[in-house]
Amino acid sequence: MSEPIISFRDAVKEFPARGPRRRRHRPQRAGAVRAVDGVTLDIAAGEVFGVIGYSGAGKSTLVRLVNALETTTAGSVVVDGTDLSGLSEARLRPVRAGIGMIFQQFNLLRSRTAAGNVAYPLEVAGWSKADRDARVAELLEFVGIADKADSYPSALSGGQKQRVGIARALATNPRILLADEATSALDPETTADVLALLQRVNRELGITVVVITHEMEVVRSICHRVAVMERGRVVELGDAYQVFSAPQQAVTRRFVASALRDRPSPAVLRRLRGRHPGRIVTVRIDEVSGSSAQVMEVLADRGVHGTIVYGGITEVAERPYGSLTLELVGSDTEVSAALAGLHAVTAVVDHGTAAAPLEDQSDGRRDTTGVGHDGGTPSASGDLRVRPHRPGGGPFGGPTGLVEGNDR
């Protein structure tokens, strides 16, 4: 990892019980509320870093520690070489000015046009009128709404408002851009546009982007690394691809399941068995193991006919990822041989046949986690456990060697 541009060390943020208003997401309990509870985290210069968590997990507070909209109760936050803890309000202002921020509700000044909003941080930074005008035009061009320069926010769509927000955040050439649920108020198509723009900001301008979200889809499409937050703590941290392919925590599995709907739920499985009498298996497709070509090759070698009945392959962090559910048709020996062959190339979950279904051990947990296949291999047929699994991991659940690469 390159030099960290943001470093949290045991960062704690407590709010008094009757603390500042507008903390919508925090449960109000007696005593102080720890919104951020001992977070240690490094964010590298130049990466797109995701912080995902449910409402109230503390992610918004965490990101506000970076630009000192909130200050730590304990621990430290170092941004671009400056330790923010203990700095006076006046000393924090220039630090804030060097960090761009965009918001879920855009937070544009209604009394100013798009151009006026983008000019605001430049006024704060003391730019001359001529310099401001040139920079504003350049920024509006970059975000693709040069024609809306003289429109007031009330006349702009959500996507256009967020583009103004991004242009405003980039105005003073910050090295860091904080995106607080920047796409949560947008429709899916606009979300994709705004995410693509954030990706451009990262690639073309080299700006470190910290994305706060509760949507795994956002992490899937643009984040290099991700931290999963729960109750003020970072419970999981890693490359986006690694976290997607081998989620360790229940909360992470829930998020992954929300973004990838490639694996059949019990209800889907019941319907699949109704339509397809043959052996039903789910195989993982990723860039390390089990490309679909490999899978098809194994089946052809064993003389088994395989039909794709469910699933999909998508991209996580721009790398292929997904799973396919197949119906295997052939003699029992051929199918067994094919299963052994599949186990050799990728992770497999055997659902059995319609006549002799195999229950996934994880069914009980599936209800709580929302994702299957994390409980290990089917219990009913020990003969199919070709590939050993680590305790707690499953073909799609635990550490699979995808990251370490020492498993096969």
Binding site for other proteins (CB under 8 A): 19-22, 67, 69, 90, 93-99, 101, 103, 105, 107-112, 120-121, 123-125, 152, 154, 168, 172, 178
* Amino acid making up residue 364: G
Residue 387 — φ and ψ, nearest 5°? -105, 125
* DSSP secondary structure string for all residues of 216-276: HHHHHHH-SEEEEEETTEEEEEEEHHHHHHS--SHHHHHHHHHH---S--HHHHHHHHHH-
Of 125, 118, 15, 123, nearest in space to 71 by CA: 15
Q: How far is the CB of 106 from other proteins (least distance, A)?
A: 8
Q: Which two tokens stand for residue 250?
A: 């229940």
* CB nearer to other proteins: pick between 51 and 269: 51
* CB nearer to other proteins: pick between 90 and 355: 90
* CB nearer to other proteins: pick between 99 and 229: 99
Q: How far is the CB of 178 from other proteins (least distance, A)?
A: 8
Q: How far is the CB of 131 from other proteins (least distance, A)?
A: 17
Q: How far is the CB of 221 from other proteins (least distance, A)?
A: 25
**247 near 239, Cβ under 8 Å?**
no
Q: How far is the CB of 153 from other proteins (least distance, A)?
A: 8
* CB nearer to other proteins: pick between 64 and 302: 64
* CB nearer to other proteins: pick between 24 and 275: 24
* CB nearer to other proteins: pick between 99 and 299: 99
Q: How far is CA 306 from CA 292, 313, 360, in A?
A: 11, 17, 21
Rounded distance, CA 22 to CA 172, Å?
28
Q: How far is the CB of 235 from other proteins (least distance, A)?
A: 27
Q: How far is the CB of 92 from other proteins (least distance, A)?
A: 8
Rounded distance, CA 229 to CA 209, Å?
18
* CB nearer to other proteins: pick between 94 and 277: 94
Radius of gyration of the chain (CA): 25
Rounded distance, CA 28 to CA 32, Å?
9
